[in-house]
Amino acid sequence: NAGVMQNPRHLVRRRGQEARLRCSPMKGHSHVYWYRQLPEEGLKFMVYLQKENIIDESGMPKERFSAEFPKEGPSILRIQQVVRGDSAAYFCASSQGIQSTDTQYFGPGTRLTVL
Amino acid sequence: AQSVTQLGSHVSVSEGALVLLRCNYSSSVPPYLFWYVQYPNQGLQLLLKYTTGATLVKGINGFEAEFKKSETSFHLTKPSAHMSDAAEYFCAVTVNSGGSNYKLTFGKGTLLTVNP
């Protein structure tokens, strides 16, 4: 059973470009979460999605960031007009449910570098 | 809101020695507590978790942690370190309140090195 897949693993963008990060959850998981890890910081919750629905985006910056989880295909985290402060590791996790007994399984992350 | 503090960003032990990684949390309601491990270039893997019940929790790879409410702590221990334990360890907390128990709050991580 394949784990959570993320691609690309490393992404380099120049200021002003767009970054698209992809996440394929584990088979059978319908709940997807995105976290961001800034240098020297712990992971911070960004957004929680189910298929075709954003459930909680309370951790997402109000501008330039968006996320989707379409009916078919991976979840996408999109960052428009990237700035140097967006350089971070972005982790995706998935779970079967959202009870306390449901473990979040994490992908290997995408490391975004903005030049 | 809850928070996590991991004391020591870097811990170094000798192979065979006790591993102790410290985690203190802050929460206004009973917490759920987790330890994750991250090996280089890999995703975070759950080591163990505490939700309710027995306060001493055993996880994978010989690790265990004890929930101490009076000390607001959830320290991770292993009696004898192996070289393969070298990794970064993250403590995390969430709460079963308001339907947002999916929202994990992480500490900054502790990098464990094991010396031969």
User: Could you report the per-residue pLDDT of B16-67, keeping only the tens digit for each?
Assistant: 999 999 999 998 888 899 999 999 878 889 999 998 888 999 999 999 999 9
Res B30: pLDDT: 83
User: Could you report the per-residue pLDDT of B61-102, keeping only the tens digit for each?
Assistant: 999 999 999 999 999 999 999 999 999 999 999 877 666 778
Give A-chain residues touching B45 at CB under 8 angstroms. Answer: 106
pLDDT at A1 over 60: no
pLDDT at A74 over 80: yes
Q: Averaged over A50-66, what is the pLDDT?
A: 93
A108 dihedral zone (left: phi>0; alpha: psi -120 to 50; beta):
alpha
d(C-alpha B40, C-alpha A51), whole Å: 30
Q: Give the bridge partners for B42, in sequence order.
A: none
Give B-chain residues touching A59 at CB under 8 angstroms. Answer: 103
d(C-alpha A109, C-alpha B42), whole Å: 8
- Measured between CA atoms, the residue of chain A closest to residue B108 is A42
Q: What is the mean pLDDT of chain A?
A: 93
Residue B101 to residue A99, Cβ atoms within 8 A: yes
Q: What is the dihedral of CA A21, A57, B72, B24, to 10 degrees?
A: 30
For the ranges A38-42, A69-73, B65-69, the lowest mean pLDDT is seen at A38-42
Closest CA to B48 of B62, B38, B58, B37: B58
d(C-alpha A70, C-alpha A80), whole Å: 19
Which spans in chain B are helix H? none
Contacting B with CB below 8 Å, chain A residues are 3-4, 6, 9, 31, 33, 35, 40-45, 48, 56, 59, 91, 93, 95, 98-101, 103-109
Res A81: pLDDT: 97
Closest CA to B84 of B42, B22, B51: B42
Give B-chain residues touching A31 at CB under 8 angstroms. Answer: 102
Of A4, A95, A103, the CB nearest to B43: A4
For the ranges A48-57, A100-109, B68-77, the lowest mean pLDDT is seen at A100-109
For the ranges A3-12, A58-67, B36-45, the lowest mean pLDDT is seen at B36-45
- Measured between CA atoms, the residue of chain B closest to residue A36 is B106
Q: Averaged over B97-112, what is the pLDDT?
A: 85
